[in-house]
Amino acid sequence: MSAFRQSVEAMIPALRRYARALARDADIADDLVQDTLVRALRSERLFLGGDVRSWLYTILTNLNKNRRRSLARRPQFMPLLENNPDASGTEAEGRDIARALSTLVEEQRAVLLLVMLEGLSYREVADIQGVPIGTVMSRLARARAHVKASLEGARPALRRVK
Amino acid sequence: MTDRNNIPVTEDELHAYVDNELPPERRSDVEAWLSTHPEDAERVRSWRAMADALHARYDQVANEPVPKRLELERLMQQPRKWLYGAVAASLLAFIAGGGAGWIAHGVAASPSNFQSFTDDALDAHRLYVVEVRHPVEVPGNERAHLQAWLTKRCGWNVRAPELDATGLKLVGGRLLPGPSGPASFLMYESASGERFTVYTAKASTETTQMRFTTQDKDGAMFWADRGVGYVVSGTSDRERLGQVARLVYDQSDRAEKNGR
């Protein structure tokens, strides 16, 4: 297997994590990853060095944007339950964070996840979204404020204990 | 407190501090600021808790084994979505083209019965062949259980044919509502992701010849045998599809003879 394919393969677990948080539905998330990988493999010859990781996140982010654009023309259905609620001890917390994420607008959710979950730099996220760093920072600030408010609103009992 | 601490820390800097994007020389300033500004310290704390919650919720996804359909070897050979549409389309072709022939074949084959047979098959494909993660109810590695269960529910001897000779492995199967009672639905897949399905349901015709129909890239072979209708759908490559259908036919024939 070529070095290129190896670096693509090494990214699959992280791409699945990002996609799951971004799309919130396990099947849709893996569809996104699959389409990302197919596109990446098809474009192998077009890839002239650089950071495979950022490039894959870029493809996935764009595919999700396209998916949502086409969804926007159809009526929306909200799932009553999370597709794959985790069975770990952090379940309640996990659902809260998932719910908070779902209230974010698309670009803000992507910035938040790329920075906080995937550990990308502001510069990398700016390149992925094709916007200036300042835009990334303001999206991140708004996303954090929104999620914080959402988490606190959802769990009044756990609000700051002094 | 130093003079530098008099330069107020902006919100952007708080974010940059949490995300390790702050120039190292400014970090201690921010830390000093936080010690005297509890509200900002609280925001920083909440952002870190948020990151922890994200990791607690989603890191497990990265630790799951990668599903087969995301393996690169597979993806490099597999034409993706057209395949699913293809199978549904092959059934459409079945109704539009060959179906008429089948209706005409037997006196006992009432159009309404036939119509519902193909409608059911079509519905099944629309529902399940697009299903990537859960295409079947019982996986192919439980073949014996699958056969026993489908046989019991359908009322005829359901054998999942061995199609290894044509490079196909059983993905699994499921039970479906057919036109007049239950129907069985089996899915096969090649190493390159090529999929074939075998739908069987009670037919109102006793026996017909095998027929072939095609539309664009998709094909279906169908026949009735001892009152059971079979639809094998997949590629439009007649030779390839015929090879698969022939194996299905031969094995169902043998199973019937052995069963009697």
| Contacts of A99 by beta carbon, 8 Å cutoff, 6+ apart | A150, A154
Task: Give the phi and the psi of residue B212 in degrees, each rounded to 5.
Answer: -125, 140
The SS3 call for residue B230 is strand
Q: Kindly indicate the confidence band of residue A57, based on its pLDDT and cuts at 50, 70 and 90.
A: very high
Task: Determine the pLDDT at residue B230.
Answer: 87
Of A36-50, B44-58, B87-101, the range with the lowest mean pLDDT is B87-101
End-to-end CA distance of chain A: 56
Is the pLDDT higher at B236 or at A99?
A99
User: Cβ contact (<8 Å) for B72 and A96?
Assistant: no
Joined tokens for residue B248? 């299905």
Q: What is the DSSP string of chain A?
A: --HHHHHHHHTHHHHHHHHHHHH--HHHHHHHHHHHHHHHHHTGGG--SS-HHHHHHHHHHHHHHHHHHHHHTS-----SS-SS---STTHHHHHHHHHHHHTS-HHHHHHHIIIIIS---HHHHHHHHTS-HHHHHHHHHHHHHHHHHHHHHH-GGGS---
B218 CB-side CA count, 13 A: 21
Distance CA B8, CA B4 (A): 9
Joined tokens for residue B169? 């492995």
Report, as an integer, the average pLDDT of B58-68. 92
Residue of chain A whose Cα is closest to the Cα of B46: A148
Residue A109, classified by CB atoms within 10 Å of its CB into exposed (0-12), middle (13-18) or buried (19+), is: buried
Q: Kindly indicate the confidence band of residue A67, based on its pLDDT and cuts at 50, 70 and 90.
A: confident
Chain segment A108-123, per-residue pLDDT in tens? 999 999 999 999 999 9
Distance CA A30, CA A67 (A): 13
- DSSP E strand stretches across B17-160: 138-139
- DSSP E strand stretches across chain B: 138-139, 168-178, 181-190, 195-202, 211-215, 218-225, 228-235
User: Cβ contact (<8 Å) for B58 and A21?
Assistant: yes
Distance CA B217, CA B214 (A): 7
- Does residue A159 carry a pLDDT above 90? no
- Does residue B5 carry a pLDDT above 80? no
Report, as an integer, the average pLDDT of B42-50. 95
Distance CA B187, CA B209 (A): 23
Using an 8 Å CB-CB cutoff, list chain B residues near A148.
Answer: 43, 46-47, 50
Q: Kindly indicate the confidence band of residue A93, based on its pLDDT and cuts at 50, 70 and 90.
A: low
Q: Kindly indicate the confidence band of residue A142, based on its pLDDT and cuts at 50, 70 and 90.
A: very high
Residues forming beta bridges with residue B175, ordered by sequence position: B184
Buried b vs exposed e over B211-231: b needs ≥16 C-beta within 10 Å?
bbbbbeebbbbbbbbeebbbb
Show which of residues 24-63 on chain A sit within 8 Å of chain B, judged by CB atoms: 26-27, 29-31, 33-35, 37-38, 41
User: Cβ contact (<8 Å) for A97 and B61?
Assistant: no
Of A22-36, B106-120, B143-157, the range with the lowest mean pLDDT is B106-120
Q: Kindly indicate the confidence band of residue B167, based on its pLDDT and cuts at 50, 70 and 90.
A: confident
Task: Determine the pLDDT at residue A112.
Answer: 98
Task: Determine the pLDDT at residue A133.
Answer: 95
Task: Determine the pLDDT at residue A49.
Answer: 67
Using an 8 Å CB-CB cutoff, list chain A residues near B55.
Answer: 117
Task: Determine the pLDDT at residue B173.
Answer: 93
Report, as an integer, the average pLDDT of B199-228. 75
- Does residue A44 carry a pLDDT above 80? no
User: Cβ contact (<8 Å) for B61 and A17?
Assistant: yes
Q: Kindly indicate the confidence band of residue B238, based on its pLDDT and cuts at 50, 70 and 90.
A: confident
User: Cβ contact (<8 Å) for A93 and B80?
Assistant: no
Place of tokens 């909440």: B46
Q: Kindly indicate the confidence band of residue B221, based on its pLDDT and cuts at 50, 70 and 90.
A: confident
Q: Which of B15, B16, B66 comes nearest A13 by C-beta?
A: B66
User: Cβ contact (<8 Å) for B57 and A141?
Assistant: no
Report, as an integer, the average pLDDT of B14-36. 94
DSSP classification of residue B98: I
Amino acid at residue number B106: G
Q: Kindly indicate the confidence band of residue B258, based on its pLDDT and cuts at 50, 70 and 90.
A: low
Q: Calculate how close chain A gets to B141, using CA atoms only, in Å.
A: 23
- Does residue B82 carry a pLDDT above 50? no
Task: Determine the pLDDT at residue B125.
Answer: 57
Amino acid at residue number B13: E
Report, as an integer, the average pLDDT of B28-33. 94
Using an 8 Å CB-CB cutoff, list chain B residues near A9.
Answer: 72
Is the pLDDT higher at B92 or at A61?
A61
Q: Calculate how close chain A gets to B201, using CA atoms only, in Å.
A: 30
Helix (H) / strand (E) element for B115: namely helix B111-128
User: What predicted TM-score, i.e. pTM, was given to this entire model?
Assistant: 0.53
User: Cβ contact (<8 Å) for B57 and A122?
Assistant: no
- The answer to whether the CB of B218 falls within 8 A of the CB of B93 is yes
Amino acid at residue number B186: L
- Does residue A76 carry a pLDDT above 50? no
Q: Calculate how close chain B gets to A74, using CA atoms only, in Å.
A: 19
User: Cβ contact (<8 Å) for B19 and A27?
Assistant: no
Place of tokens 């897949």: B189
Task: Determine the pLDDT at residue A69.
Answer: 64
Mean pLDDT of chain B: 77
CB–CB contacts below 8 A, A to B:
106
Task: Determine the pLDDT at residue B84.
Answer: 45
Chain segment B91-140, per-residue pLDDT in tens? 454 444 444 433 333 333 333 344 455 556 556 655 665 566 677 889 89
Task: Determine the pLDDT at residue B201.
Answer: 87
- At CB < 8 A and 24+ separation, what contacts does A122-129 make? A122/B16, A122/B19, A122/B21, A124/A51, A124/A54, A124/A57, A127/A54, A127/A58, A128/A54, A128/A57, A128/A58, A128/A61, A129/A61
Joined tokens for residue B219? 């094909």
